[in-house]
Amino acid sequence: MDCPRDKTALETKIDRGIEIDQCPSCDGKWLDQHELDLLEDTVFVTELKKGTRMYAIRESDINCVKCNAKMATFNYRAYNLPVDYCTDQHGFWLDGGEDKEILNLMKKRVGDLKRSKSAEKAWNKNLLGVAGGKSIFERIKDLFK
């Protein structure tokens, strides 16, 4: 397989325990369809939900390294990080450094989700304490009795 950016032959490497194809020239990486999940999972906590991955999908300027079809580009998890993918689900092309950006964004997402979950628990605890132990649904139901 050749790099979709500069046509250099891709080299197979192991990165974070994942077999990827990497361009020795531009440092771009080809990840097969399931390998992007594996990359995210190196920093993500399994009990949290990852959420939607693809936003603002549009045509890409490169072709798939497997089937040579025109790829599409999306903004990764609503961040301003464009990632190319094969619409026939062969995989993803990450330009040089985008793998590190994905890991940083996933670490940030884990922190945000943990804070959100913690705040929700504290809010529920405080609300239930003020409301005499009743949930918001129980209190609304009491209004109609």
Domain extents for the chain? 11-115
Quote the pLDDT of residue 109. 74
Two tokens, residue 21: 């194809």
Give DSSP secondary structure letters for 14-60: EETTEEEEE-TTT--EEEETTHHHHHHHTT--TTS-----EEEEEEE
Cβ proximity of 71 and 86 under 8 Å: yes
Two tokens, residue 10: 């891709």
pLDDT of 130 above 90: no
Quote the pLDDT of residue 107. 83
Q: Is 141 exposed, middle or buried (0-12, 13-18, 19+ CB in 10 A)?
A: exposed
Q: Tell me the pLDDT tens digit for each residue of 72-99.
A: 999 998 889 999 999 999 999 999 999 9
Quote the pLDDT of residue 114. 59
Cα distance between the two ends of the chain: 69
Q: Tell me the pLDDT tens digit for each residue of 17-62.
A: 999 999 999 999 999 999 998 998 888 766 666 778 899 999 999 9
Quote the pLDDT of residue 117. 56
Q: How far is CA 117 from the centre of its chain?
A: 19
